[in-house]
Amino acid sequence: MSPLIAIAITTGILSAIWGWIAVALGLISWVGFLGSTSYFASSGGYKALLQTMLCNVSGMLWALLLIHGDTWWGAGVAGYMMTGVVATLMCVQAKQQWLGYIPGTFAGCCATFGAAGEWRLILPSLVIGALFGYLMKASGLWLSHKTQKAQAATAVVDPA
């Protein structure tokens, strides 16, 4: 089985499981899917999983600063200016290796805005979602490898 088809199958199964877990735990399923999407868009592997989680969480923290920061700088034009400053800093933080995945940072930020800053739900949803993204890809690659190995073992060799 091709890696694409195998990953599609395991992603479908694990997406259904994630949806059930999110509802059962009172988490935000679409935020978890942002976490898994962030992982899928990364370079892959354990290091990328950790980097995805760190960047998603840093994005969440940047968004919380903007959401709650209006008490310091007020609303209106100052708020828009701070959005620009924070977006700049979200990119500059990528100078640090573990925070170098800018799309993951922006995904965490967007999830936080979309979920109205409910960080107690956003944080576990992003982290578990990233874990599910890792599992979706890893299990799909495992399935592909196993089925290709089985196909090779049962292949008939023409003696001619």
Mean pLDDT per 10-residue segment, the chain (160 residues): 96 98 98 97 95 98 94 84 96 97 98 98 98 97 92 65
Alpha carbons 48 and 108: distance in angstroms, whole number: 15
pLDDT number for residue 46: 95
pLDDT number for residue 89: 98
pLDDT number for residue 11: 98
128 Cβ contact list (under 8 Å, min separation 6): 18, 21, 27, 32, 35
pLDDT number for residue 158: 56
pLDDT number for residue 81: 94
Our CA angle for 43, 47, 50, nearest 5°, is 105
pLDDT number for residue 75: 77
155 Cβ contact list (under 8 Å, min separation 6): none
Alpha carbons 16 and 159: distance in angstroms, whole number: 47
Phi, psi at 147, each rounded to 5°: -70, -35
**What one-character-per-residue DSSP string does 43-76 give?**
--SHHHHHHHHHHHHHHHHHHHHHHHHHHHH-ST
Q: Model's pTM, two decimal places?
A: 0.89
- CA dihedral 90→92→94→98, nearest 10 degrees, is -80
At 82-124, the pLDDT tens digits run 999 999 999 999 999 999 999 999 999 999 999 999 999 999 9
Alpha carbons 122 and 127: distance in angstroms, whole number: 9
pLDDT number for residue 141: 96
